[in-house]
Amino acid sequence: MAIAVTGSIATDHLMHFPGRFADQLLPEHLHRLSLSFLVDDLVVRRGGVAANIAFGMAQLGQRPVLLGAVGADFADYRGWLERHGVDCDSVHVSEVAHTARFVCTTDEEMCQIASFYAGAMAEARNIELRPVADRIGGLELVLVGANDPAAMVRHTEECRERGYPFAADPSQQLARMSGPEVRKLIDGASYLLTNDYELGLLQQKTGWRDDDLLDRVEVRVTTCGADGVRVVRRGEPELHVRAADEVRRADPTGVGDAFRAGFLAGRSWGLGLERSAQVGSMLATYVLETVGTQEYVVKPEEFAERLGAVYGDAAAEEVRVFLAG
């Protein structure tokens, strides 16, 4: 069995603005905002939340199954992912649409303004999970990541119907989906993965408070940027994991995806929630230190050493065994 990662598969167009977005915003005129930012850098990278998470898991020695919809222009991207250990045999290829595009500008304070074109992603609603489970001998977990909203609902409902454990990770699609739709994505999840802002938006849309969420999900995992990660489950003390130390800060795009990759890898290894969150935080730092969401390389011994420097020798020794394997 393996972990199936569903969600967007996209090409990232990443730009840098040499200033602060906040300095260009006039509060009294936000209702008719019209701005153009002259950027000083552009790089085109592989991305999409599902592909990013699957790539990160593969860097840690996992063999995740990628599920999403792409265009015929996916061939080179497929080769890249497969060379790095991602199972792409269940990716749906559209006959009419291009692979999705993510266009993002980051300022000097790491604030971002972004747009996303769905393209072939709209066909992800046609993907069924059962053939994937049959092909690989079962599903250990299904991560339902940001995707075509109808696909997210379909995957979640199929997980509940067939008894596949799933992680709810609505992220960017929270802004688009209604409260009832968001509730459908959460109920019965083994994990709810959000950042702190998304958690607030989710609660506003669903009307569910902390206790309500814990009635519906087993574990709530909330990333808080430089303030680390909070892990909560009913009847247990809240866990707080500090953010891992970075060597430098290059670009935050994909940091959350890398955290999810490390966290899910840790859980697949059988590690506890705290240790898994530490692995996720360490992997997230690798992405923060690079431009592009899949431009980093995990060297097992270096990863273990960096993990130990932040979280202690016991963490390094426990994780090193799985990295070596």
Sheet with 139-145, side-by-side order of all strands = 65-67, 2-6, 139-145, 166-169, 191-195, 219-223, 229-232, 239-241
- Residue 305 gets which letter from DSSP? H
**Known catalytic residue at 257:** yes
Set 12, 87, 148, 257: catalytic member: 257
Buried-state track 267-292, b at ≥16 Cβ within 10 A, e below 16 = bbbebebebbbbbbbbbbbbbbbbbb
Query: Could you give the CA distance from residue 273 to residue 218 in angstroms, rounded to a whole number?
Result: 12
Look up residue 119 and give its two tokens.
């393209």
> What DSSP element (H or E) covers 256?
helix 255-269
Contact 37, 283 (CB under 8 A): no
Rg over alpha carbons for the chain, rounded to the nearest Å, is 19
Which residues are 116's β-sheet partners?
Answer: 102
Look up residue 210 and give its two tokens.
């902390």
Query: Could you give the CA distance from residue 252 to residue 178 in angstroms, rounded to a whole number?
Result: 27
What is the dihedral angle through the alpha carbons of 66, 72, 77, 78, rounded to the nearest 10 degrees?
A: 50
Task: Name which of 154, 204, 152, 208 is nearest 175 in CA terms.
Answer: 204
Task: Name which of 46, 170, 44, 155 is nearest 90 in CA terms.
Answer: 155
Q: Which residues are catalytic?
A: 257
